[in-house]
Structure 1
């Protein structure tokens, strides 16, 4: 009999991933939406494990960012008028490249197909030449920044190299937005929002005024976004309906410092620069946030992260991801290649988590410059600006529209005329003044290209002493893919007990666990034990809990609790009936202590809040010997 083949690391990861997928299906973490009708790719329902986990992560996100940085929280609508997304550039540019296989008609996202073929080319049966390895690694890194022609040529090359038998048509752009309409006539087109940022830009002016013109400031929200993905695969990593949490941090481009940078200066992050990716380098740099902001990249002669505000949120994001249970060594920040960046971005770093299937993007942190506010200012003839003090007062010509004359003359068109006039900067005011003085009239163009003629009676020009100037704020946008973060938490915290590979465990942090404590009697036939269990349950109203009075063994109940990440378990036994104590079990170690029932709420509060760790509780109460703890 030939010797048994040793399993490779890839084999072990694949097996572990299969175990996790099986567990998530068996315990209803998620389910394909409309499964009774065959389901729909890219649509998933969250079950009784994932739904509370989602809300717990969102609450942690709110505490970590919204409360800590005093952000303005809003909730904007999902349905977005077409005009808004035309102005923002989404109607024209929010595309992925699709490609069809000629024989089967199956559609692929072209960049994902290239990544798939590159992985195949990088893992041949024979050792790969280092130059070819570097070439295919660079191809994979640049897949989503290629033009249609580059994608076509790359796919043709990779198909030959890998011996793939599929034949493909040419790549073509596909807009990812779901279209709809507002009202019954069909002549008011709209889209389901493909991101949640535009609602925050729409409300910039209102929030700025609510804050009495204080800068800098942030607007935050979380909610659903919708993208009609070409070929959604990978479970929660590629959905058509998904949850995002974002904020837009508005700042003066002349002031790129952040007052709280010192709070994160020593946070250590792993960083993969664009220059490293262009060379096929895969091992990231390890540095503190202070080093990232102050140390020059030898390739560019500039700091790795030039914008201090961007650097601050890289650090805060690292801390947030660690807080919700991701491993420090399994988080990295990858800088976008120049060709890869969105049309609005000056710089962008993706926060990525290492899963059982490789590195996956879960966060994007972009410097969007002033792109959006400038675009919407032009699109609406509205000044979306902030004010800063001038070093010295200056004389400035200002325009005061004569509202009464404009209203009487233009009736329902008076508002867009006023909006246009109010949006003019000083150069526009002077140009309009010259027209009026030269021609005794002036022509302006309002919405939809309509031209309007103005008379001198409608306009008044004044010279004023000005101590402030207008500017359009820049914005840093951290965007968190909550569905992806949820899966990464589960993926990185899944393990099996060394003594029994079928004993599956998910080590959720106690604050996030969907259920925090199991309560069970040793004997379901003991009425006294059942009464004590219900009494304990009543004392733990501030914890998410599960009381299990079923007939399974205690060990079986603990094993089921471990599978959904329940960090603590309370067992009421015969001793409890006489001395009013119970055992408290910790999930990861399987250790137990015995303590008075009246002290359980206080001890659990300390453990969940982090004011005490398990070792402290053990030193206080002592361990109870158990067969399980000997594993």
Structure 2
């Protein structure tokens, strides 16, 4: 982006008009009135998304030697029941008792409290920024009690504290806030029902009978976990290693809003890095340890603040702010990827999950959040998920999802083991014997120690086995639980998982906001400063006139661009050359090649750079080589065009 454009205020309406008019994306089924949260990508949107995915593959899969898989989007109920999605993959919604209108509870609390704070500032004579989200603006206009009402200082502090922690409140806590602060339907003032959980997965039936219940997957991770043994074998049993998957996921959002930021069908790119739980160091951590990042730790949020802490990732790991090297390595690599594709370095932060939002099995979790006109938006999650996923699927299926490694020296270990008297077990429990035995053999060391103590103390244990009616009583005639010493030559362990998870649509929209501006001399001339690497089209080929004399050189340059696989478009319309460039600036096209009558003499052409509108001239072979250097090999404009001649023109950008 040009330095002069930075001072121009961002205009979301202007951006959305460009994105709609140039068909980057549009509401799906628009002829039928559309469906909230569903969008179609047009030609420039498709190309931009494809380039981001290609860059992601190279940045992660290629550079980190990852194993890519492509798993089905249809997932049986039992898989997502085991993973916890059926029971816990939900948001909290509340309903207007009279109208039946539905709101997502956390968003409603957030919007009402933010509006009241703005009303307080207005009452105190403090200038308030204009709200740009039209839907939000309309809702807030109808909230009667926030019209320029001065709040007590203590209430202001309470609101600010709540907003700093809004991501961490449970449904019942949100319900308490709604009652405490008398939050009602913004449109009608109507009372709301207490928040209830709404599962976000799209349910379906697999097969014609309808008996096999399933869902459209809410993430791409489960297929990677279920293929762990195959991936480990493919990787010659070597640890650590990572799998990766790119594909569509689906979430039945309560209140889709903000364009691509909250949708019901979206593209995800996810990594599952399998690591030894006893060694979470990373061999390449030294390569990233000096990268400075802005962190929002959980403790800061829980104190009611949003003040960022700037540290190198090396300092963050060494001080324990980030749990381990492998998690820290991926946080840094996420940051480098986002910068590469066009995210503004000043509008990215890493927010740590608070204790009340952290999954019980996770040891640490950070979200890469990008600042937009809608606020800070979570675009990438990076979590240490411990051994949870592999453990629950192994327990459910009875299939070991473990790594087995020879020990350098045999070791003696003490373990609790259970011995089942099968001769007595079968006749006593008959059809339930298999279920009870499976339940017993799935117990971990902590469970076995507890059961063993109970058996020793009481001479029996009483257990509740899923699928078996009533309680099951087992005495010392049926089972024995003892601590046994064994010499082991093999170490067997369940890997931990570090999971970076990318929401591609959210990243795309954030980049649009970060790179959109208008030329200071003409606010109607919009520019989308997409990095050349990911720009949908790299070159606009512009013949100065429609003269037939120029067509052979246009064709010659076109053929060389095609041969070098550089995406380009020819604009030989009758519009002025300035207008032709202007309408491609808003498409994000970084370079323009002008062919004029001088080109007929020596095959020289002019190269224009989008943001600065600087121009250089040289042979078309040298110009195309400069484009390649800047686009694909990381050269700056100055470096890539060093051998070319600066060119001044009065007409190109008129």
Q: TM-score, normalised by structure 2?
A: 0.82
Q: CA deviation at 1:207?
A: 0.8
Alignment of 1:271-286 (within 5 A): 271-286=295-310
Alignment of 1:127-526 (within 5 A): 127=124, 131-159=154-182, 166-167=189-190, 168-295=192-319, 303-388=320-405, 389=407, 392-394=410-412, 466-524=488-546, 526=547
Aligned to 1:69, the other structure's residue is in SS state coil
Structure 2 equivalent of residue 406 of structure 1: none
Residues 1:43 and 2:38 are matched in the alignment: yes
Aligned to 1:489, the other structure's residue is in SS state helix
Q: CA deviation at 1:395?
A: 7.8
Q: CA deviation at 1:341?
A: 2.1
Contact 2:296 2:350 in 1 (8 A): yes
Structure 2 equivalent of residue 26 of structure 1: 21
Contact 1:384 1:472 in 2 (8 A): yes
Aligned to 2:393, the other structure's residue is in SS state helix
CA distance in 2, matches of 1:429, 1:348: 31
Contact 1:117 1:158 in 2 (8 A): no
Aligned to 2:164, the other structure's residue is in SS state helix
CA distance in 2, matches of 1:363, 1:483: 11
Q: Which shows bigger deviation, 615-624 or 493-502?
A: 615-624
Alignment of 1:90-129 (within 5 A): 90-124=85-119, 125-127=122-124
Q: CA deviation at 1:630?
A: 8.9
Residues 1:531 and 2:552 are matched in the alignment: yes
Contact 1:513 1:565 in 2 (8 A): yes
Between Structure 1 and Structure 2, how many residues are aligned? 586
Contact 1:394 1:467 in 2 (8 A): no
How has the CA–CA distance of structure 1 residues 578 and 163 changed in structure 2, closer, same or farther, with 3 Å as cutoff? closer
Contact 2:90 2:200 in 1 (8 A): yes
Q: CA deviation at 1:21?
A: 0.9
Contact 1:142 1:340 in 2 (8 A): no
Q: CA deviation at 1:418?
A: 12
Contact 2:178 2:184 in 1 (8 A): no
Q: CA deviation at 1:64?
A: 1.0
How has the CA–CA distance of structure 1 residues 51 and 12 changed in structure 2, closer, same or farther, with 3 Å as cutoff? same
Alignment of 1:60-99 (within 5 A): 60-99=55-94
Aligned to 1:181, the other structure's residue is in SS state strand
Contact 2:243 2:271 in 1 (8 A): yes
Per-residue Cα deviation, 1:271-303 (whole angstroms, up to 9, x for no partner): 0011111222222111100111112xxxxxxx1
How has the CA–CA distance of structure 1 residues 581 and 73 changed in structure 2, closer, same or farther, with 3 Å as cutoff? same
How has the CA–CA distance of structure 1 residues 263 and 423 changed in structure 2, closer, same or farther, with 3 Å as cutoff? same
Contact 2:349 2:369 in 1 (8 A): yes
Contact 1:583 1:595 in 2 (8 A): yes
Q: CA deviation at 1:449?
A: 5.7
Per-residue Cα deviation, 1:206-241 (whole angstroms, up to 9, x for no partner): 111222221111111110110001110111010100
Q: Which shows bigger deviation, 479-488 or 355-364?
A: 355-364
CA distance in 1, matches of 2:639, 2:625: 14
Aligned to 2:103, the other structure's residue is in SS state strand
Contact 1:101 1:166 in 2 (8 A): no
CA distance in 2, matches of 1:583, 1:593: 6
Per-residue Cα deviation, 1:448-497 (whole angstroms, up to 9, x for no partner): 6699xxxx9xxxxx998531121111111110000011111111000110
Which of 542, 565, 571 is matched with 1:548 structurally? 571
CA distance in 2, matches of 1:418, 1:628: 84
Aligned to 2:278, the other structure's residue is in SS state coil
Q: CA deviation at 1:429?
A: 11
Structure 2 equivalent of residue 435 of structure 1: none
CA distance in 1, matches of 2:502, 2:183: 38
Aligned to 1:588, the other structure's residue is in SS state coil
Gaps of 5+ in 1: 1-10, 296-302, 402-412, 432-443, 457-461
Q: CA deviation at 1:430?
A: 13
Contact 1:335 1:349 in 2 (8 A): yes
Aligned to 2:501, the other structure's residue is in SS state strand
CA distance in 2, matches of 1:623, 1:596: 13
Aligned to 1:496, the other structure's residue is in SS state strand
CA distance in 2, matches of 1:581, 1:259: 49
User: Larger relative contact order (C-alpha < 8 A, sep ≥ 6)?
Assistant: 2
Q: TM-score, normalised by structure 1?
A: 0.85
Q: CA deviation at 1:334?
A: 0.5
Aligned to 1:369, the other structure's residue is in SS state coil
